[in-house]
Amino acid sequence: MNKRLFNRKTISKVAKAILILHVPYLIYTGCINIQSGEVDITLSVESSSLSFTYSGERKDIYITTNDSWTVSKDASWLSISSSSGANNGTISVTAEANTSFSQRTATITVRSTVQGVREKTINITQGAIFTEDQMVYVQGGTFTMGCTSEQGGDCYSDQLPIHRVTLSDFYIGKYEVTQGLWKAVMNNNPSYFTGSDNYPVEMVRWNDIVGTSGSYQEIKGIRYYANGFIYKLNQLNGKQYRLPTEAEWEFAARGGNSSKSYKYSGSNTVGNVAWYLDNSNERTHIVGGKSQNELGIYDMSGNVWEWCGDWYGTYSSNAQTNPSGPSSGDGRVARGCCWGSSAVYARVSYRLGWIPSSRNYNLGFRLARSSN
């Protein structure tokens, strides 16, 4: 080895060369380290959307990350359990009840704390308290009303004589009117059985539904007054809801033009479609809990009796078109029976008259409206 390489000058030159060659490299690798640290930060959420029903609900968002994070929202009707955290975590999102008549949306944004590096948006939608998709279209048709053969031989005489009825198209509620909807419209809840907004409202008088004073809106021969539920509902959403006529109720309960001629609404086995004495645990149940009938309607047999618009009266054997009952009477018709009675009352032909100023924890209603 040439020993001149080892004199001080040579060593100094070699060191400089090494320094010149490697300083940029050292700076460069330093940058790489920082960048690779950023790239390694992950942030994911389990879902990019969450949907809530109209009633108040809580749902969880799972965050997977190796960084600190913050959460923000853009709607006052949402609350979040935590606005920041680190590493994997869960936040709960609670939506207040949506008492409006339209769906609403919001977003929740989760950001890793290294701003601008990672961000996830979760789109939130919440259904409205009541929308048209809760009304079932019933195509008009002709049917035989009253104690037809499948109803059995023990019908009361008020279900006779059987008679032909022709109806125009109409809509009827898929569910009994819920306590949530009643509260949204009336700001009170008269129901005996509480605990969920999705229980049917009961303890409502015919007079509470139809109203007794103030301005009125006349629909299908009934005046709906300003202090009643239906008038207020119609003011809120601009529709023309009303009570079903007794004939509309029975036609819909029988499955309309899709009828399979069941004894109860949607089945010959009462427990498949109805909450009644033997399966109800002697209380109401959340609407829609049993099987639907041929038209996709729930609880027409059982849960709560349902007020109809008509005065209760005797049947005629004459064929009729769009009947709306007698012109006067003592009681208003109720149909379909209830959690508190035996199966015979849940038959589609069974009928009852109830004083319109009376109320009962067995008794609620469902909405209807004409198709034009």
Q: CB of 156: closest distance to Ca ion in angstroms?
A: 19
The answer for 336, left when phi > 0, alpha when psi is -120 to 50, beta otherwise, is: left
Q: CB of 66: closest distance to Ca ion in angstroms?
A: 54
The residue assigned the tokens 């749902």 is: 59
Q: CB of 303: closest distance to Ca ion in angstroms?
A: 4
Q: CB of 188 within 8 A of CB of 203? A: no
CB contact set of 106 (below 8 Å; sequence gap of 6+): 73, 74, 75, 77, 78, 124, 126
Is the Cβ of residue 114 or residue 352 nearer to Ca ion in the bound state? 352
Q: CB of 340: closest distance to Ca ion in angstroms?
A: 12
10 Å CB burial of residue 238 (0-12, 13-18, 19+) is exposed
Cα separation values, 341 from 170, 277, 278, 336, 351, Å: 29, 5, 8, 11, 13
Is the Cβ of residue 50 or residue 287 nearer to Ca ion in the bound state? 287
Is the Cβ of residue 101 or residue 350 nearer to Ca ion in the bound state? 350
10 Å CB burial of residue 17 (0-12, 13-18, 19+) is exposed
Q: CB of 103: closest distance to Ca ion in angstroms?
A: 27
DSSP track, 165-179:
EEE--EEEESSPPBH
List contacts with Ca ion (CB under 5 A): 299, 303, 336
Q: CB of 175 within 8 A of CB of 299? A: yes
Is the Cβ of residue 246 or residue 299 nearer to Ca ion in the bound state? 299
Other beta carbons within 10 angstroms of residue 90's beta carbon come to 12
Is the Cβ of residue 151 or residue 303 nearer to Ca ion in the bound state? 303
Q: CB of 276: closest distance to Ca ion in angstroms?
A: 10
CA atoms within 13 A of residue 28's CA, in its CB half-sphere: 5
Provide the 3-class DSSP secondary structure of residue 250.
helix
The residue assigned the tokens 């009840």 is: 97
- Amino acid at residue number 40: D
Q: CB of 246: closest distance to Ca ion in angstroms?
A: 14
Q: CB of 311: closest distance to Ca ion in angstroms?
A: 20
Q: CB of 364 within 8 A of CB of 203? A: no
Is the Cβ of residue 69 or residue 199 nearer to Ca ion in the bound state? 199
Is the Cβ of residue 224 or residue 275 nearer to Ca ion in the bound state? 275
Strand ranges in 183-304 using DSSP code E only, listed in sequence order: 216-219, 222-225
Q: CB of 150 within 8 A of CB of 263? A: yes
Is the Cβ of residue 65 or residue 265 nearer to Ca ion in the bound state? 265
Q: CB of 176: closest distance to Ca ion in angstroms?
A: 5
10 Å CB burial of residue 199 (0-12, 13-18, 19+) is buried
Is the Cβ of residue 275 or residue 311 nearer to Ca ion in the bound state? 275
Q: CB of 357: closest distance to Ca ion in angstroms?
A: 21
Is the Cβ of residue 107 or residue 341 nearer to Ca ion in the bound state? 341
Tell me which residue has its CB nearest to Ca ion: 336
